[in-house]
Structure formats: structure tokens, C-alpha cells
Amino acid sequence: MRSKALLLGLLCAVAAQTARAQPPAPAEIKIGALYASSGPYASISMPVSAGFRLWVDQTNANGGAEVKAFGKKIPLKLIAYDDQSSTATAATLYNQLITRDHVDLLIADSGSVLTSVGVPIAKEHKQFLFDVSGTGAAFFTDDNPYVALMADPVSTIWPHYISDFLADDGAKAGIKTVAILFSTNDFTGTQAAALKGFFEKDGKVKVVYYQGVPTTTSNYTVLINNIAAVNPDAVLELGYVGNDIAFLRNLQDSGNQFRFVFSIYAGVEKEEIEKNVGASALTHIYTYVPPSNYEYVPEVGMTQKEFHAAWDKKYPPGSNVTFGANAVYGYMTGLVVERALATAKSLDQMDIHDAVFALSGKLKTLDGTFILRKDGAQIGEVTPLGQLQPEGKDALTLVAVYPPDMANGKAVIGK
């Protein structure tokens, strides 16, 4: 009887010890990421990758990231592969990062197209995907806890301020009709559909032209002429960087003028677009005001000015990566990773999920306030509507014009 009690006690002690035991701390936290050094998405992917690397290097220079699960700082190891803007290559590489490299954290490539293939793969492998800027609404569903959007809002939210502005200030100024021209991909297609829905719901502005074009479109002259033929007051062109460059150049060349013209990347990648299009073609163009051009007050990480200075130091002119919103998105994702590691109970993917979602509403960075919907869609970090206005000779400044509580300038609507 006594030996049985002794044995039972011994077993209990072993069980308790086993329960308390944790796996040994890894020598490094492996972060897997994709980037596109070439192809149509390189211009939005490389700044994200460079911004994220900047955060990794800064963190490692400070001894690594604080990992709560092990109670210590652990260096980060970034395993990054080049998908060359190919979704097929990206799918292979997402799989490789999960199944061969066994990364602890998985970061998606920039943009909806290259993220789209990562979402189902991450879900299948029960690996949490840090979706940097893949804003397609279809990525976020209640049955998939393995994805969350980090750095910019879901596509259905992005264009809300455009329709609000046109229904409000625009309608007062006599804007009654709008043309929507969009590239047929998840990012811009979702925004176009959302905008059309907003306009139809408000009923103040009528959509008179609604056309999609392939994302590879590089010439808009005839499309602009066709839009002019229906004589809209406002024209909204939703495309990627290459689309916007071609559209804005063609618009200037065509001599057609509209009272309100919107383009996404005129502001989101202002330096890049201005370099290729010129200031005169951009004057009074409406656009989103990205965090690279708007000063939010961060509670975590660098301010926009500090980040820009750090960027310029790490990537001086001639480095072939341009500072812009995507640079901020990369760095911002690093901050979410940092906070998640600092609070997650373990590196189990659902614990990572819980840690990321626990940041919702509490994390304020240079990108605004991080707020997640329960399906992982980002609904904070909303981009105000802005306008590129002349500032001296051959220079432009991006002014936030809507909503009123975020505005730092007044909109100029064409006659």
C-alpha cells in the first residue's frame, strides 16, 4: 500500500514536471517572407521587403526580438525568396517556407495578387499568415483564423472616403456623374465594386461609365476618349503603379479635362509616380493619403519622420527602392510581429493568432491605429482622401482633404 502511494506520488511529480517543461528556446526565430524583385509587382513589393528588412536589422542590432514564450530576446533569421511576381512561383515558395524551412512566422508578399495564393496554402497548413497589404475582401472569412491584414485596410473600406466626399462636397460643387475605370484584379476590382455600390446606395452621384481593363494595360488613350464621350464630372482610375503612370500621362496627352480625377498610386507611391509622370500631370489629382505622407502619432516604433530618415540612411539614393507607403507597410508589419512575439504564449500558430488579434485597437503606429475585424480584415489604418496641390514651382504637396477631422487642407474642385 505504501509503495503504491509512493509510486503514485512519483508519477504525479513527473506529470507536473512534464506539464511545466517548455521546449528549449530556439537559437533564432525563423521568419519566412516572399518578395518580387522583378515583374509587374516589383515596384510595390521591393519597398515592403526593404521596410521589413530594416525592422529585422534594427531588431537584431538590439539583440533580437523579445519572445515572451521563452522569456528572453532571440535573434531573427529572415528567410526571403524571390517569386518574381509570379503567382505560380509564389505558391511553390509559400509551401517551401512552411514545409521545408519550417518557419515560425510567415509573411506574405505585397499586394493582393501575390497574397491570394498564400492564403489557402497557409490555411491548409494551419500556419498564420501575416498579410502585409493583400487587401482583397475574399481573403477574409470567418472559417479561416490563419490570416490577418497588417498594414492597410481591406479593399471594401479603402474607397469609402471617395464616395463620401463626392456625395458631400462633390455634390455641393455640382458633381453629378462619375466614370470608374479599374484594373481587373482583387485589389482594384474590389474597390471598384465597392465604390459602385456606395454611389448606387447614396444616389447622389450617378455612375455613367464602369469598365475593367487587364492589369497589364499600358495605354489608356482610347479609354480616356471613350470616357470623355460620356462626359462625366469625375473620373476614378483604379490601377497599380504601371497603370496609373500610363493613365496619367495619357490623360495629360489627350488634353481631356475632368473636374475630379482620382488615382490610387499618385499619392501612395508619390515619388515614383511624380518621377515618371511629372508634376504638371499630377496637379490637382485626388488620391489616397498614405502613412508615408501623413503624420500619425505612434505609440510603438518610429514616427514617420524618424522612419524616413532611417530609410534614407539604409537605402540612399541609387539603391533602386523608393520610399513610399509600401515602405511603411513593411516596417509596420515588423512592428506587429514584434508585439505579437512579445505577448504570445508560445510559437504555436493559434497563439500567434491570438497575440496578433489582441493588438487590435491597442496598437498605434506611424500607420495609424491597427484594428482587426474578427475575420482578420484590417478596418483601422484608413487612408484619408487627399489631393496633390502645387507648392512653389514644379513641386507638389499631398494635402488630406477628407474626412474633415483628418483634413489638413481644402479641396480644389475643377470648374
Task: Give contact residues for another protein (rule: CB under 8 A).
Answer: 36-40, 42-43, 46, 85, 184, 211-214, 216-219, 221-223, 225-226, 228-229, 241-242, 245-247, 249-250, 252-256, 272, 275-278, 280-281, 319-322
The CB-of-255 to another protein minimum distance in angstroms stands at 4
The CB-of-252 to another protein minimum distance in angstroms stands at 6
At which residue does the C-alpha cell 482610347 appear? Answer: 222
The CB-of-218 to another protein minimum distance in angstroms stands at 4
The CB-of-100 to another protein minimum distance in angstroms stands at 24
Measured from the CB atom, the residue of 76 and 238 that comes closer to another protein is 238
Measured from the CB atom, the residue of 125 and 249 that comes closer to another protein is 249
Cα angle 164, 165, 170; round to 5: 125
Measured from the CB atom, the residue of 127 and 183 that comes closer to another protein is 183
The CB-of-383 to another protein minimum distance in angstroms stands at 22
Ramachandran category for residue 211: left, alpha or beta (phi over 0 → left; psi -120 to 50 → alpha):
beta
Report whether 336 contacts 356 (CB < 8 A): yes
Report whether 281 contacts 257 (CB < 8 A): no
Q: How far is residue 183's CA from residue 379's CA, in Å, rounded to a whole number?
A: 23
Measured from the CB atom, the residue of 147 and 228 that comes closer to another protein is 228
The CB-of-89 to another protein minimum distance in angstroms stands at 13
- Is the Cα torsion angle 125, 130, 131, 132 positive or negative in sign? negative
Measured from the CB atom, the residue of 129 and 227 that comes closer to another protein is 227
Measured from the CB atom, the residue of 47 and 380 that comes closer to another protein is 47
DSSP label of 169: I
- 365: Cβ contacts below 8 Å, ≥ 6 apart: 296, 298, 299, 300, 301, 332, 335
- Is the Cα torsion angle 287, 290, 293, 296 positive or negative in sign? positive
